[in-house]
Amino acid sequence: MRKRRRKHIPQRTCVGCRQVLAKRELIRLVRTPEGVFVDLTGKRPGRGAYLHNKRSCWEQGLKRGLARALKTTLSPEDVKRLREYADTLQEEDAAE
């Protein structure tokens, strides 16, 4: 009888809260020559960083960790674009 191998699930760290989760549970941001963009497919070429779909993680990420994780400085256009996306996210529940 053969043992079944468990499927490998890639893990990533949220730049905002530093929690490690499955890659599919986080939103990827990618640095391209044109700037920093949200990568919902997770397949765009470029250096990536990951954030929860929580507004608090996006605020923390934009304040400190995101630029370092992407090894770049965020332009005002990048910050504006990312804040607009963060505004579409719902606030987390008070119980969390």
To the nearest whole percent, how much of the chain has pLDDT over 70?
Answer: 94
pLDDT of residue 6: 85
CATH superfamily of 11-88: YlxR-like (3.30.1230.10)
Rounded Cα distance, 16 and 45, in Å? 22
Give the H or E element holding residue 23.
none
pLDDT of residue 92: 61
Residue 95's pLDDT band, with cuts at 50, 70 and 90, is very low
The domain locations on the chain are 11-88
Mean pLDDT of 9-16: 95
With 70 as the cut, is the pLDDT of residue 94 above it? no
Strand 11-13 versus strand 47-51 pairing type: unpaired
Return mean pLDDT, the chain: 90
pLDDT of residue 64: 86
- Of 77, 60, 64, 66, the closest CA to residue 28 belongs to 66
Mean pLDDT of 51-74: 93
